[in-house]
Amino acid sequence: MTHMPFLRVLRKGLWLVFSILSFVVAFAQDIPERPVPARFVNDYVGMLAGGEKDQLERKLKGFMDSTSNQIVIVIVKTTGDYPPGDYAFQIGRKWGIGQKDKDNGLVLLWATETRKLYIAPGYGLEGAIPDAVAKRIISDQLAPAFKQQQYFKGLDNATSEIIRRASGEYKNDQASDDTELPMSGVIIFLVIAVVGFIVIARLMGRGCRNSGGTGGGMPWFVPYATMSSWGSSSGSWGGSSGGGGGGGWDFGGGSFGGGGAGGDY
């Protein structure tokens, strides 16, 4: 137990490096914009009927109302150059799924053309939905139904299992664990971050000399996932002036790490 805060910091540091490298390799790949108004079921392919989407939407909205946890379904054709897990976490961070002070969001990603599935919990739900559980939900609930082309059934069963496991998850206080973080964990985190920025500086430095500039409004050294998380208070999840939550709700600015699991069918 005493090593958990240390491992959590190490995991976050490694994820920061992976986010930086992912930005260099695949920053041009589109991540869907945050839906306005916010919604739990985001079917960009048209795999679900209108009534099926509405039923899942009501179910997930009711769960959020009772627990504050936000489970979001995202259906796309492909994740492009991103691995499914990275794509799911990029969505979670860019949209700010979950509450900012609890990180209690979850992305259920389905890429239809590649037949890939991924369950990505925010930091606050990793205790309720650890990697092994996420993998089992995919193999036991999603994959069998999807093989029979019973897509709504698979999503309905999977979200019911997630809800059952996540109900009441955020009645615990994770801040008490974080206060016991050893100084060595902080040092390792800083070292990993510095190494990551050195790598990005060298890679992007060569690109800038070849192209004549960065061509962006944000500093070139800020990784995409971090930029979307830091900047969300002014644009991603904070404002409702662009159409806002039509159902009286919005994403809360939650953050995501590197947990979760994927599979196919």
pLDDT digits (tens, 9 = 90+) for 69-109: 999 999 999 999 999 999 999 999 999 999 999 999 999 99
Mean pLDDT for 196-203 is: 64
**How much is the average pLDDT of 19-26?**
52
Q: pTM of this prediction?
A: 0.65
> Are 55 and 263 within 8 A, CB to CB?
no
Q: Does domain 41-170+253-264 have CATH number 3.10.310.50?
A: yes
Residue 35 pLDDT exceeds 80: yes
If DSSP codes are grouped into helix, strand and coil, which group holds residue 240? coil
Most confident stretch, 5-19, 154-168, 218-232 = 154-168
Closest of 127, 124, 95 to residue 109, by C-alpha: 95
Q: What is the pLDDT of residue 245?
A: 38
User: Which amino acid, 134?
Assistant: A
Buried b (16+ CB within 10 A) or exposed e, 59-71: bbbebbeebbbbb
DSSP letter (8 states) at residue 217: S
Cβ(245)–Cβ(38) under 8 Å? yes
| Percentage of residues in the chain having pLDDT higher than 70 | 62
What pLDDT is recorded for position 204?
A: 54
Q: Which residue has the higher pLDDT, 69 or 18?
A: 69
E strand or H helix that includes residue 59: helix 50-67
Q: Answer whether residue 249 shows pLDDT above 80.
A: yes
Give me the pLDDT at residue 206, please. 52
Banded model confidence at residue 122, pLDDT cuts 50, 70, 90:
very high
Q: Residue 194 — pLDDT band, cuts 50, 70, 90? A: confident
pLDDT at 246: 42
- Taking only Cα atoms into account, the Rg of the chain, rounded to an integer number of angstroms, comes to 19
Of all residues in the chain, the percent with pLDDT exceeding 90 is 55
Which band of pLDDT confidence, cut at 50, 70 and 90, is reported for residue 248?
confident
- Residue 127 pLDDT more than 60? yes
Q: Residue 242: is it exposed, middle or buried by C-beta count within 10 angstroms (0-12/13-18/19+)?
A: exposed
**Per-residue pLDDT, 258:** 80
